Amino acid sequence: MSAIAGNIQDGRIITIPEVATVEEIRDEIREVKTFYLSIDDRDIWSQFKWKSGQFIMLTVFGAGEFAVSLPAAPEDDRFHITVRTVGKVTSALHALKPGDKVGIRGPFGNGFPFEEIKGKNVIYVAGGIGLIPLRSSIVHVLQKKNDFERVLVLLGARTAEDHMYKETLAQWQKGVAGFECHLTVDVATLGWTGEVGFVHTLLDKAKIPIENTVAFVCGPPVMFNTVIGELMKRGLSDEHIFSTLERHMKCGVGKCQHCAVGRTLVCTDGPVYTFRQIKTLGEEI
Ligand SMILES: Cc1cc2nc3c(=O)[nH]c(=O)nc-3n(C[C@H](O)[C@H](O)[C@H](O)COP(=O)(O)OP(=O)(O)OC[C@H]3O[C@@H](n4cnc5c(N)ncnc54)[C@H](O)[C@@H]3O)c2cc1C
Ligand code: FES
């Protein structure tokens, strides 16, 4: 058990990172890798439970700590994170090898509102690595497919080489009845025979339902704003559109205010918000 009193609360690691081992590393797309991890202390690992939509704080020893979503759903076989190199800590993580150690705090944040969306059509619209935080929600919804109506993923990327989780999406398309996946690229490269155009152009091509529908949207700001505009133009209410906010985080537990946006703390109130809530925060996504 952790030697620090109060460090573990309800299975969450609060202040001192628990040491974990990098078991396997897989290349995803350019500058993006998936890291399979497990916490070394078996008691703490067995208590470690997370909800789809939550995040952890990951320490790369000697480099720093950063917030990272949990693309692995609780239903998945293996715990993993998927990370793009953007700065000092993520670059240090990408330099690690299987067997190396990292630190984990969390899980933190609210998670996706599955009870609220039961019985509805569920549309996931992602741009590039925006699919990472949505992955765990898709896994959960597909596991409970009978509780939902149509389930669609619309994914856009610069080129076909930049589509996240391509193999997993293909497996779901083969294996899960009723799962619909539509891909597009900004620029067609040699061999691409699918759709070309920004991801919002898939909304009509996929004949998305609007009645009894919720949408989860995640991606770069321009893509996000365009998709939201197009969804609302078609009649989807802002309270039926969800996204996850990313803000720079330090403590992860509502103490330091680093993640404050208006009156909300993304680490405790978020990271999942409805677009109606996001609009009131007075800050761009
Ligand atoms: C809830 C949550 C979930 C997340 N999930 C993921 C995930 O699943 N995968 C993932 O890859 N990332 C995720 N992130 C983003 C990740 O936490 C950040 O990118 C993190 O800052 C990376 O740390 P770094 O040290 O590598 O980069 P940093 O040094 O923090 O740099 C990150 C970016 O900010 C810019 N930057 C740095 N300092 C400044 C400055 N002073 N002024 C302006 N710009 C600056 C850099 O140029 C770079 O583009 C998530 C963030 C949050 C809050
Ligand atoms: S990260 Fe410290 S309050 Fe949210």
Here the CATH number for the domain that contains residue 201 is 3.40.50.80
Q: Are residues 205 and 75 in the same domain?
A: no
Please indicate, yes or no, whether residues 82 and 166 belong to a single structural domain of this protein: no
Tell me the C-alpha to C-alpha distance, in Å, between residue 77 and each of 37, 74, 128, 208, 253. 12, 8, 24, 31, 27
CA separation for the pair 253, 249 (Å, rounded):
9
Q: How many domains does the chain have?
A: 2
Position 63 scores a pLDDT of 98
In sign, the C-alpha dihedral spanning 66, 51, 46, 44 is positive
C-alpha of residue 257 to centroid of ligand 2, in Å: 5
> Same domain for 119 and 103?
no
Q: Tens of pLDDT along 189-240? A: 888 999 999 999 999 999 999 999 999 999 999 999 999 999 999 999 999 9
pLDDT band at 262, cuts 50/70/90?
confident
Assembly ipTM: 0.92
Are residues 149 and 254 both part of a single domain?
yes
Task: Return the amino acid letter for 51.
Answer: K
Last residue of a domain, one of 107, 129, 150: 107
262 within some domain: yes
Domain boundary among 107, 132, 147: 107
> What's the average model confidence in pLDDT over 232-260?
96
Q: Is 2 domain-assigned?
A: no
Among the bound ligands, the one closest to the CA of 261: 2
- Tell me the DSSP string of the chain: --SSTTSEETTEEEEEEEEEEEEEEEE-STTEEEEEEEESSHHHHHH----TT-EEEEEETTTEEEEEE--S-TTSSS-EEEEE--SHHHHHHHT--TT-EEEEEEEES----HHHHTTSEEEEEEEGGGHHHHHHHHHHHHHTGGGSS-EEEEEEESSGGG-TTHHHHHHHHHHSTTEEEEEEESSPPTT--SEES-GGGHHHHTT---TTEEEEEES-HHHHHHHHHHHHHTT--GGGEEEE-----SSSSSSS-TTEETTEETTTT-SEEEHHHHHHTTS--
Category of 226 on φ-ψ map: left (φ > 0), alpha (ψ -120 to 50) or beta: alpha
Q: Do 87 and 122 lie in a common domain?
A: no
| Within-domain flag for 3 | no
Question: What pLDDT band is residue 6 in, cutting at 50, 70 and 90?
Answer: confident
Average pLDDT, the chain: 94
Closest CA to 223 of 100, 129, 138: 129
pLDDT band at 16 (very low <50, low <70, confident <90, very high): very high
Distance 268 CA to ligand 1 centre (A): 18
Over residues 136-160, the pLDDT tens digits come to: 999 999 999 999 999 999 999 999 9
In this structure, are residues 199 and 154 in contact, taking their beta carbons and an 8 Å threshold?
A: yes
Residue 62: inside a domain, yes or no? Answer: yes
Which ligand sits closest to the CA of 57?
A: 1
Per-residue pLDDT tens digits for 77-131: 899 999 999 999 999 999 999 999 999 999 999 999 999 999 999 999 999 999 9
Token pair 């918000």 is at which residue?
273
Q: Are both 147 and 37 inside the same structural domain?
A: no
Separation of alpha carbons 232 and 238, rounded Å: 7
Ligand 1 centroid to Cα of residue 86, in Å, is: 6
Q: What is the CATH number of the domain that holds 37?
A: 2.40.30.10
| Predicted local distance difference test score (pLDDT) of residue 83 | 98
d(CA 188, CA 222): 20
Is 16 inside a domain boundary?
yes
Domain check: are 173 and 250 in the same one? Answer: yes
Task: Give the model's pLDDT for residue 281.
Answer: 87
Nearest to 36 by CA among 91, 66, 76, 7: 76
Among 248, 259, 264, 269, say which to mutate for ligand 2: greatest number of ligand atoms within 8 Å of CB.
259
Same domain, 160 and 71: no
Taking residues 40-56, report their average pLDDT: 95
Whether residue 5 has pLDDT greater than 80? no
- Same domain? For 260 and 145 the reply is yes
pLDDT-derived band of residue 285, with 50, 70 and 90 as boundaries?
A: low
Give the pLDDT band of residue 2 (cuts 50, 70, 90).
low
Q: How far apart are CA 151 and CA 179, in angstroms?
A: 5
Please, which residues bridge with residue 64 across strands?
Answer: 60
What is the mean predicted confidence (pLDDT) over 66-74? 96
Ligand nearest the Cα atom of residue 256: 2
Atom index in ligand 2 nearest the CA of residue 257 equals: 3
Expressed as residue numbers, the domain containing 46 is 8-107
In terms of domains, do 121 and 96 share one? no
Determine, yes or no, domain membership for 1: no
Residue with structure tokens 């705090």?
Answer: 105
Say yes or no: 213 and 86 in one domain.
no
12 lies in a domain?
A: yes
Contact 77, 39 (CB under 8 A): no
Domain endpoint, select from 92, 107, 122: 107
Tell me, yes or no, whether 237 lies in a domain: yes
Domain check: are 94 and 134 in the same one? no
- The answer to whether 97 and 22 are in contact (CB under 8 A) is yes
Residue 267 near ligand 2, beta carbon < 6 Å = yes
